[in-house]
Structure 1
Amino acid sequence: MWQAEYTSWPFRKLNYFRAGKQILEDFIASNPNNIEARYVRLLCQLNAPGFLNYNNIEEDRAFINANISTANLSEDYKKIMLFNIKKHTDN
């Protein structure tokens, strides 16, 4: 999905985004409790243009907030995740 940011052709941007979105959605469907995948999806959603209708923001934010304390991640990484979520959702 992030590859779409680095091309100037609109249709190529959309194709990169759709392909990446499908890969991420398939991964989350197979691994619904993977907090890092939910975090990546949340960041993508927060940065995607609204017309793409990619919006599971509240679901992902709630999942991350509910599960971050028990996640097998470093405390520094957890702090970064929470900081980024707060930074993007306080606007």
Structure 2
Amino acid sequence: MKGTTFFLLLLFATKVYAAEPDMEEVKTLFESSAYSRSSADRLSKLLSKIDHSSPPLLICYKGVAEMMQAKYGFNPINKFRRFKRGKNLIEEAVKKEPDNLEIRFLRFVIQTNLPTFLNYNENIKEDKTYLLNNLQTTKDKKLKQDFLKYLSSSKLN
């Protein structure tokens, strides 16, 4: 009986651990998905098991992945549906963790790259200000570098 219980616990723990994707892979695929449909497809597949009970950062990346799928889609109705799903996931993540710099950066990047007719640009100034005011608090050097690089190369200066 103890052996069966141990085996079931081990199986469950392995399944839970395996369900959460590697963040380095997620971030790499995010960066390349802006230019590569295959990366966007891999990112979407990697995050397919993420749901509302997942960590907010993963929910946000899933929202970003939906937006990337919309970018590469052909059917305007499906593109808009994916955009809406992505927007809802990103906003859910921001609502759950409004002080998460990476989530705010992801929303900032998405909003600054979307066409204005989609009307998903109302947080650009807020996120930019928040990121500039709080960037020094992060220990994530890559996030800091990515934000400063993105800001210096964007048309938002």
- TM-score, normalising length: structure 1: 0.91
Q: State the AA in 2 paired with 1:31.
A: E
Query: 2:127 corresponds to which residue?
Result: 60
Following TM superposition, the consecutive aligned residue runs of length 4 or more in structure 1 with deviations greater than 6 angstroms are none
> Where do 1:79-90 residues align within 5 Å?
79-88=145-154, 89-90=156-157
Q: State the AA in 2 paired with 1:57.
A: I
> 1:16: how far off?
0.5
Worse overlay, 18-27 or 81-90: 81-90
> 1:60: how far off?
0.3
- TM-score, normalising length: structure 2: 0.54
> Where do 1:25-40 residues align within 5 Å?
25-40=91-106
Residues in 1 aligned to 2:102 and 2:71: alpha-carbon distance in whole angstroms = 21
Identity %: 35
Unaligned runs of 5+ in 1: none
> 1:54: how far off?
0.8
Q: State the AA in 2 paired with 1:35.
A: L
Worse overlay, 80-89 or 14-23: 80-89
Query: 1:11 corresponds to which residue?
Result: 77
Residues in 1 aligned to 2:147 and 2:106: alpha-carbon distance in whole angstroms = 10
Supply the RMSD in Å over aligned alpha carbons. Answer: 1.1
Deviations 1:49-91 (A, max 9, x none): 10111111000000000000011312x431221110232213x
Partner secondary structure for residue 33 of structure 1: coil
Unaligned runs of 5+ in 2: 1-66
> 1:27: how far off?
0.7
Q: State the AA in 1 paired with 2:114.
A: A
